[in-house]
């Protein structure tokens, strides 16, 4: 471990650290544009120059390995002058358009020019003009502002695994562009906007919308997938304007997916802002809360508890699900379910439905088998972690399911689950590799678990995990990859059919046969609603999506950004999403709606406030007691051995952009969807 | 330089290396160790350009990317970095005029002016007849015989306005004159013939 002196302070840094990292260790701030902790070192902006003893010139600290006995000065007159020189050259061709630049106020170049810039330019020549580049519906380019730090190029090549960005030309003529100006085809593409230190790459949907200092910033959790990325929601007044990633080394590091970032314009469209009642003319008419409640209560009075069912959707907070479950327990109905897609998961054994390895644990794995999942669209940020694992250690990665481009090479074992049997019995050549591996892991997606033989898949995975030694005292390699943000919390709370209760398929088929008279949909839209024509349907949710269209009574709820709510990510980590805006019109928080309604049918729920609800919830499900931490789950038996069906296994999701009521209402997501369709048909046409 | 101005508007639908190119490609790739075949990218671009009338179509870039297991963008970056690679069609005679200091001092401006007068093209343009393209380049490495005009693979040296005019007229008639110094000097010997060592005999004895 080299020891060096920075501005008179002695520091010891790890082997392989750079001088820049050593300077930061010593508390010296080093200005930089091209250097980024999570990307490879480019060393091309020269802003991080420092003085090194016995060196003839200032050195670029980001590209200089820290050596024993180095004496570094970051504050000398020469350093200041050198950096001022670099800044002056950077500004030769940088337009002075800060007043109309969206990066203004949060621009690295602007900030650092305050420290190292001159008050006036010495150049009278014309500045370089660069044409705008097309990069798709999310990224707006003003390439004349580009300072060629190549962060975006390195991000897309290294992290996103889509090497479409590059720099063409040379010298003063260098320009950053995508290959032939096609759309940047990555689910993580918009992270280049955060990486861009200037205003060259800015957010297209957010263009000219707001200045950073006008925004209220709320630290929250993303629910567009089940990873629970930490985000910051920026709102002005009652409008959610943008979402940015928040650093969390254990989950999303500092990236978020494009859907997490841009589906928010869906919060402004197709919203349910007042209760609706279906009239005798078959249309939904606006109503008062009292009338809506009375209509539901009237129907409930006529219905036996055994003919009532409830289904919770994929983006519902734990509190609302708990309130729904409490209500149906009071009613005496066992027909309740949170597994809209029919995943054969049980609530009994926590290890059977969470991502036991944890996301950070992926970094240690040395062999991976992915079954019936497309992590690239089901959890894009986690997929980038698997890609990094592959780049660092070239671990073997196998995949059972349709052929996919996961941004890293995989051994494709076909889409027949029979191969899982040969793997579990040790007959497959890969089984030996898994056995030899110290930290192997399997990732099972909903594509494999929502099948009728999902129980058998679970049993086989258990067998495979045991046979290859995937589970021991300090490693659990069995992982379920969810893509519904509410699913793990739902299972933790036991939103599964009670004794003699029907699951989602059972409820739907009973409804179509007329054996179910009352169905309560709590934000459940990913269902075949045609089957719900006969029963009386209550839809409680925030968007006029599929569920609301088949409902007899619509109760307007708050979306995830409009309430404080607990979510459990697929690792089993409880996190709190916070309110950034208020729900529109008469819409209310979901738990409060359920609480208020319970009173009208004289089955009053026992909590009067969110904190009382949470106390009860923690008593019922103790995992909710600790925020932000994962409780390791005990490994025990699960699954039910049975014969596998011979149909091919699918991925959990086959489309990234439009997967929930919010993202389906989003114009930006629709544009992205169209752009990928256009990209796909262009490839098909070739 | 946006992509539209960088590459040709009319692109061929297909590109395939011919037999001769395939042989050269094999040789170029074999120079590098296993797994480092991307190092042959410049050779392959050059081979593609030679085969395809001195310019590289997009399909060739994609073919090269496929063969060397590189991203298409990486190949385009290399192709756009070097001025020696043409991403647009050029005339039958591709003129590269050196404008670096020694050539400039020896009259490269006259050469350039002659080309402008005769063909009405500036650097980066192709003549109306489609036969000539011009690019002003940096040092061609033959400063002793400056100024230089490179025509495809050959050097014409010691040019002036008149000599350039004659050269262009000859080329126009597809009657390519002898390459080298237009004033007829050998290699880079002094103008007007040798002035020293005239008595030296080729006897190998010390003088």
Q: Give the closest-approach CA distance of B6 to chain A in angstroms.
A: 9
| d(C-alpha A365, C-alpha B185), whole Å | 71
- All structural domains of chain B with their residue ranges: 3-81, 93-181
pLDDT category at B150 given cuts 50, 70, 90 is: very high
Chain A positions touching B76 (Cβ under 8 A) are: 166, 168, 179-180
Instruction: Pick the residue of B4, B38, B77, B87 with the most A CBs within 10 A to test the interface with A by mutation.
Output: B77
Does A679 contact chain B (CB < 8 Å)? no
Q: Is the pLDDT of residue A126 over 50?
A: yes
| d(C-alpha A582, C-alpha A322), whole Å | 22
Q: How distant is the alpha carbon of residue A345 from its chain centre?
A: 22
Q: Is the pLDDT of residue A573 over 70?
A: yes
Identify whether the C-beta of residue B65 lies closer than 8 Å to the C-beta of residue B75.
yes
Which helix (DSSP H) or strand (DSSP E) does residue A458 occupy? Answer: helix A454-467
ipTM score: 0.89
| d(C-alpha B89, C-alpha B49), whole Å | 10
Q: Give the closest-approach CA distance of A175 to chain B in angstroms.
A: 7
Widest distance between CA atoms in chain A: 91
- Under 8 Å CB pairs connecting chains A and B tally to 45
pLDDT (mean) for A168-185: 91
List all residues of chain A from 18 to 37 with a beta carbon under 8 Å from chain B: none
Instruction: Report the chain A residue with the minimal C-alpha distance to residue B9.
Output: A180
Does A682 contact chain B (CB < 8 Å)? no
Q: What tens digit of pLDDT does each residue of A579-636 get? A: 999 999 999 999 999 999 999 999 999 999 999 999 999 999 999 999 999 988 999 9
Q: Give the closest-approach CA distance of A177 to chain B in angstroms.
A: 8
Chain A positions touching B6 (Cβ under 8 A) are: 168-169
Sheet holding A239-245, edge to edge: A216-221, A230-236, A239-245
pLDDT category at B203 given cuts 50, 70, 90 is: low
Instruction: Report the chain B residue with the minimal C-alpha distance to residue A166.
Output: B73
Tokens of A279: 């009239």
Does B2 sit within 8 Å of A177, measured CB to CB?
Answer: yes
Identify whether the C-beta of residue A626 lies closer than 8 Å to the C-beta of residue A574.
yes
Instruction: Report the chain B residue with the minimal C-alpha distance to residue A128.
Output: B1
| d(C-alpha B166, C-alpha A455), whole Å | 87
Q: Which of B1, B3, B77 sits opposite A180 (nearest CB)?
A: B3
Task: Kindly give, in sequence order, each residue whose CB lies less than 8 Å from that of residue A107, ignoring residues fewer than 6 positions away.
Answer: A98, A101, A197, A198, A199
A602 burial (CB, 10 Å; 0-12 / 13-18 / 19+) is exposed
Chain B positions touching A172 (Cβ under 8 A) are: none
pLDDT (mean) for A315-321: 96
Q: Which of B1, B7, B77 sits opposite A166 (nearest CB)?
A: B77
| d(C-alpha A464, C-alpha A431), whole Å | 9
Tokens of B21: 């190119």
Instruction: Report the chain A residue with the minimal C-alpha distance to residue B73.
Output: A179
A289 burial (CB, 10 Å; 0-12 / 13-18 / 19+) is middle
What DSSP state is assigned to residue A254?
A: T
| d(C-alpha A50, C-alpha A410), whole Å | 44
| d(C-alpha A202, C-alpha A139), whole Å | 6
pLDDT category at A408 given cuts 50, 70, 90 is: very high
Does A178 contact chain B (CB < 8 Å)? yes
What DSSP state is assigned to residue A517?
A: -
Instruction: Report the chain A residue with the minimal C-alpha distance to residue B74.
Output: A166
Tokens of A555: 């109760």
Q: Cα A289–A291–A294 angle (5° rounding)?
A: 110
Q: With H, G, I as helix, E, B as strand and everything else as coil, classify residue A259.
A: helix
Instruction: Pick the residue of A161, A167, A180 with the most B CBs within 10 A to test the interface with B by mutation.
Output: A180
pLDDT (mean) for A97-125: 92
Count of residues in chain A: 686
Identify whether the C-beta of residue A378 lies closer than 8 Å to the C-beta of residue A406.
no
Mean pLDDT of chain A: 94
Q: With H, G, I as helix, E, B as strand and everything else as coil, classify residue A613.
A: helix
Chain B positions touching A683 (Cβ under 8 A) are: none
CB crowding A152-185: b at 16 or more within 10 Å, else e = bbbbbbbbbbbbbbbbbeeeeebbbbbbbbbbbb
Does A167 contact chain B (CB < 8 Å)? yes
Instruction: Report the chain A residue with the minimal C-alpha distance to residue B8.
Output: A180
User: Which residues of B sit within 8 Å Cβ distance of A?
Assistant: 1-3, 6-7, 58, 71-74, 76-77, 80-81
pLDDT (mean) for A290-298: 96
Chain B positions touching A180 (Cβ under 8 A) are: 3, 7, 58, 76
Does B6 sit within 8 Å of A179, measured CB to CB?
Answer: no
Does A180 contact chain B (CB < 8 Å)? yes
pLDDT at res. B185:
83
Q: Is the pLDDT of residue A174 over 70?
A: yes
Q: What tens digit of pLDDT does each residue of A88-104 get? A: 999 999 999 999 999 99
Identify whether the C-beta of residue A204 lies closer than 8 Å to the C-beta of residue A675.
no
Instruction: Report the chain A residue with the minimal C-alpha distance to residue B7.
Output: A180
Nearest to A58 by CA among A29, A33, A42, A79: A79
Which helix (DSSP H) or strand (DSSP E) does residue A618 occupy? Answer: helix A610-620
pLDDT at res. B190:
82
Cβ neighbours around A255 below 10 Å, total: 22
Task: Kindly give, in sequence order, each residue whose CB lies less than 8 Å from that of residue A553, ignoring residues fewer than 6 positions away.
Answer: A275, A276, A277, A278, A292, A295, A296, A536, A537, A538, A539
Does A181 sit within 8 Å of B73, measured CB to CB?
Answer: no
Q: What are phi and psi of A202, to 5 degrees?
A: -125, 170
What DSSP state is assigned to residue B1?
A: -
Q: Give the closest-approach CA distance of B70 to chain A in angstroms.
A: 9
Q: Give the closest-approach CA distance of B26 to chain A in angstroms.
A: 26
Q: Is the pLDDT of residue B31 over 90?
A: yes
Q: How far is CA A8 from CA A57, A75, A228, A418, in A?
A: 20, 11, 43, 66
Chain B positions touching A165 (Cβ under 8 A) are: 73
Instruction: Report the chain B residue with the minimal C-alpha distance to residue A132.
Output: B2
Instruction: Report the chain A residue with the minimal C-alpha distance to residue B87.
Output: A169
Q: What tens digit of pLDDT does each residue of A201-231 get? A: 999 999 999 999 999 999 999 999 999 999 9
pLDDT at res. B1:
59
Q: Are strands A230-236 and A216-221 parallel, antiparallel or unpaired?
A: antiparallel
Q: What tens digit of pLDDT does each residue of A577-595 get? A: 999 999 999 999 999 999 9
pLDDT category at B207 given cuts 50, 70, 90 is: very low
Q: What tens digit of pLDDT does each residue of A260-279 get? A: 999 999 999 999 999 999 99
Does A178 sit within 8 Å of B77, measured CB to CB?
Answer: no
pLDDT at res. A631:
86
Chain A positions touching B124 (Cβ under 8 A) are: none
Q: Which of A130, A169, A179 sits opposite B72 (nearest CB)?
A: A179
Between residues B187 and A672, which one has the greater pLDDT?
A: A672
Q: With H, G, I as helix, E, B as strand and everything else as coil, classify residue B47.
A: helix
The DSSP annotation for A343-411 comes to: ----SS-GGGTSBTT-TGGGGG-SEEEEES--HHHHSHHHHHHHHHHHHHH---EEEESS----SS--E
Q: Of the ranges A188-192, A508-512, A674-678, which one carries the lowest mean pLDDT score?
A: A674-678
Task: Kindly give, in sequence order, each residue whose CB lies less than 8 Å from that of residue B193, ignoring residues fewer than 6 positions away.
Answer: B185
pLDDT at res. B188:
83
Does A173 contact chain B (CB < 8 Å)? yes
Chain A positions touching B72 (Cβ under 8 A) are: 179
Q: With H, G, I as helix, E, B as strand and everything else as coil, classify residue A492.
A: helix
Chain A positions touching B1 (Cβ under 8 A) are: 168-169, 173, 175
Q: Which of A163, A173, A180 sits opposite B71 (nearest CB)?
A: A163
Q: Are strands A478-481 and A518-522 parallel, antiparallel or unpaired?
A: unpaired
The third-level CATH classification (topology) of the domain covering B93-181 is: Glutaredoxin (3.40.30)
pLDDT (mean) for B4-22: 90
What whole-number percentage of chain A has pLDDT above 70? 99
Cβ neighbours around A605 below 10 Å, total: 21
Q: Is the pLDDT of residue B205 over 90?
A: no
Is it true that B3-81 and B93-181 share their CATH fold?
no
Q: What tens digit of pLDDT does each residue of B78-123 get? A: 999 998 999 999 999 999 999 999 999 999 999 999 999 999 999 9
Q: Is the pLDDT of residue B193 over 80?
A: no
| d(C-alpha A104, C-alpha A95), whole Å | 13
Q: Is the pLDDT of residue A258 over 50?
A: yes
Through-space distance between the first and last CA atoms of chain A, rounded to whole angstroms: 54
Q: Which of A133, A168, A173 sits opposite B76 (nearest CB)?
A: A168
Q: Give the closest-approach CA distance of B135 to chain A in angstroms.
A: 15
pLDDT at res. A120:
87
Does A165 sit within 8 Å of B77, measured CB to CB?
Answer: no
The third-level CATH classification (topology) of the domain covering B3-81 is: Arc Repressor Mutant, subunit A (1.10.10)
Tokens of B184: 């007829």
Through-space distance between the first and last CA atoms of chain B, rounded to whole angstroms: 60
Does B80 sit within 8 Å of A179, measured CB to CB?
Answer: no
| d(C-alpha A356, C-alpha A441), whole Å | 9
| d(C-alpha A382, C-alpha A360), whole Å | 9
């Amino acid at each position: 471990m080299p020891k060096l002196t920075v501005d008179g302070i002695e520091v010891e840094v790890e082997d392989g650290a750079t001088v820049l990292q050593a300077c930061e260790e010593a508390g010296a701030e080093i200005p930089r544009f091209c250097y980024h902790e999570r990307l490879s070192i480019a060393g091309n902006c020269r802003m991080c120059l420092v003085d090194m003893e016995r060196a003839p010139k200032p050195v670029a600290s980001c590209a200089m390995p820290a050596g024993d006995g180095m004496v570094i000065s970051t504050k000398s007159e020469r350093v200041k002058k050198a950096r001022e020189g670099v800044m002056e050259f950077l500004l030769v061709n940088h337009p002075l358009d800060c007043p109309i630049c969206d990066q203004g106020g949060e621009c690295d170049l602007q900030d650092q020019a305050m420290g190292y810039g001159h008050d006036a330019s010495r150049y009278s020549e014309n500045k370089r003009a660069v044409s705008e580049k097309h990069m798709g519906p999310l990224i707006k380019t003003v390439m004349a502002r580009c300072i060629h730090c190549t962060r975006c190029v390195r991000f897309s090549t290294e992290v996103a695994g889509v090497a479409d960005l590059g720099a063409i030309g040379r010298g003063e003529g260098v320009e950053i562009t995508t290959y032939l100006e096609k759309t940047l085809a990555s689910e993580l593409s918009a992270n280049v906007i955060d990486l861009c230190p200037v205003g060259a790459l800015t957010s297209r949907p957010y263009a000219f919308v707001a200045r950073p200092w006008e925004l209220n910033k709320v630290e929250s959790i993303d629910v567009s997938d089940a990873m629970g990325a930490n985000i910051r929601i920026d709102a002005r007044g009652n409008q959610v304007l943008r979402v940015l990633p928040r650093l969390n080394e254990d989950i999303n590091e500092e990236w978020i997916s494009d859907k997490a970032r841009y589906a928010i314009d869906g919060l402004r469209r197709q919203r349910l802002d007042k209760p609706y009642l279906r009239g005798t003319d078959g249309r939904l008419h606006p109503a008062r809360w009292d009338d809506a409640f009375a209509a539901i209560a009237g129907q409930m009075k006529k219905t036996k508890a055994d003919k009532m069912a409830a289904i919770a959707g994929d983006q519902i907070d734990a509190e609302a699900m708990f309130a729904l479950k409490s209500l149906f327990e009071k009613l005496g109905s066992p027909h309740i379910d949170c597994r809209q897609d029919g995943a054969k998961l049980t609530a009994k054994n926590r290890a059977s439905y969470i991502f036991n390895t944890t996301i950070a644990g992926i970094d240690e794995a040395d062999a991976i088998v992915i079954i019936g999942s497309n992590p690239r669209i089901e959890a894009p940020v986690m997929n980038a972690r698997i890609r990094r694992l592959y780049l660092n250690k070239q671990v073997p990665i196998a995949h059972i399911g349709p052929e996919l481009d996961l941004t890293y090479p995989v051994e494709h074992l076909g889409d027949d689950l029979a191969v899982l049997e040969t793997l579990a019995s040790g007959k497959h050549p890969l089984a030996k590799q898994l056995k030899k591996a110290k930290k192997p892991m399997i990732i099972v997606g909903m594509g494999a678990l929502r099948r009728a033989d999902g129980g058998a898949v679970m049993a086989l995975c258990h067998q495979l995990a045991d046979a290859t030694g995937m589970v021991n005292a300090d490693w659990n390699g069995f992982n379920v990859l969810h893509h519904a943000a509410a699913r793990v919390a739902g299972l933790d709370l036991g939103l599964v059919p009670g004794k003699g209760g029907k699951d989602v398929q059972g409820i739907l088929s009973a409804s179509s046969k007329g054996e179910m008279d009352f169905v309560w949909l709590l934000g459940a839209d990913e269902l075949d609603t045609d089957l719900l024509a006969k029963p009386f349907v209550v839809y409680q949710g925030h968007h006029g999506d599929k569920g609301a269209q088949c409902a007899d009574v619509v109760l307007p709820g708050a979306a995830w950004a409009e309430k404080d709510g607990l979510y459990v990510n697929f690792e089993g980590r409880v996190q709190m999403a916070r309110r950034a805006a208020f729900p529109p019109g008469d819409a209310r928080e979901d738990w409060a709606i359920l609480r208020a309604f319970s009173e009208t049918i004289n089955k009053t729920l026992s909590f009067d406030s969110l904190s009382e609800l949470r106390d009860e919830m923690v008593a019922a499900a103790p995992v909710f007691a600790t925020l932000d931490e994962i409780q390791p789950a005990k490994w025990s038996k699960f699954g039910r051995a049975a014969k596998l069906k011979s149909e091919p296994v699918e991925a959990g999701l086959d489309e990234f952009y439009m997967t929930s009521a919010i993202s389906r209402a989003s114009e930006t997501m629709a544009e992205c969807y169209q752009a990928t369709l256009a990209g796909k048909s262009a490839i098909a046409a070739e | 330089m946006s992509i539209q101005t960088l590459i040709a508007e009319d692109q061929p639908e297909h590109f395939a290396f011919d037999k001769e190119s395939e042989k050269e490609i094999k040789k170029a790739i074999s120079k590098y160790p296993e797994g480092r075949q991307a190092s042959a990218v410049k050779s392959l671009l050059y081979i593609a350009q030679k085969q395809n009338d001195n310019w590289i179509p997009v399909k060739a870039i994609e073919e090269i990317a496929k063969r060397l297991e590189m991203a298409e963008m990486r190949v385009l970056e290399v192709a756009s970095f070097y001025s020696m690679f043409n991403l647009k069609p050029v005339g039958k005679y591709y003129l590269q005029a050196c404008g670096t200091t020694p050539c400039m001092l020896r009259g490269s401006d006259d050469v350039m002016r002659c080309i402008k007068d005769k063909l009405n093209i500036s650097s980066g343009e192709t003549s109306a007849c489609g036969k000539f393209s011009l690019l002003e380049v940096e040092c061609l490495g033959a400063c002793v015989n400056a100024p230089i005009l490179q025509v495809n693979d050959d050097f014409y040296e010691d040019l002036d306005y008149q000599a350039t005019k004659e050269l262009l007229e000859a080329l126009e008639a597809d009657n390519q004159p002898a390459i080298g110094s237009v004033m007829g000097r050998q290699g880079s010997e002094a103008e007007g013939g040798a002035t020293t060592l005239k008595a030296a005999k080729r006897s190998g004895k010390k003088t």
